[in-house]
Amino acid sequence: MHNSATTRDRIRSFALSLPGAVEEFPWGDRPVVKVNKKIFVFLGDEGISVKLADDEARGHALAVPGAAPTRYGLGRHGWVSVPLGTGDTPVELLCDWVEESYRTIAPRGLVAVLDGGPSNPAG
């Protein structure tokens, strides 16, 4: 079992390994990871928020104890906030959700790079 800081660090490292991903701090010390100037994961002290377009994945994420639609109206658009401190959710599954969020937000060309194909500059 990992504590929430270790889990967050592993998720952060994974997110930053995705093609074109960059870390920014638009709200002080709370990082986000973006691709093409769009956020695909919020990294909070106690949890993460990801955009899950797939209904099944979103339902699975919402079943995690303490998970909820992301506040500030983002939940209406498929964003889910998942707590990290429970230790109930494997890091690999959290990273799968980060990757799904990335695939939803990233341009097609970068998704193709992720899939091992050639980059499409048109996006």
User: pLDDT tier at 120 (50, 70, 90 boundaries)?
Assistant: low
pLDDT tops 60 at residue 123:
no
Could you read off the pLDDT of 27-41 as tens digits, one per residue?
A: 888 899 999 999 999
Higher pLDDT, 15 or 117: 15
Could you read off the pLDDT of 62-115 as tens digits, one per residue?
A: 999 999 999 988 988 999 999 997 777 899 999 999 999 999 999 999 999 999
Domain locations in the chain as residue ranges: 7-107
CATH class of 7-107: alpha beta
Query: For residues 7 and 91, is the Cβ–Cβ distance under 8 A?
Result: yes
Task: Check residue 2 and give its pLDDT.
Answer: 58
Task: Check residue 8 and give its pLDDT.
Answer: 93
Sheet bearing 38-43, strands edge to edge: 21-27, 30-35, 38-43, 47-51, 79-83, 68-69
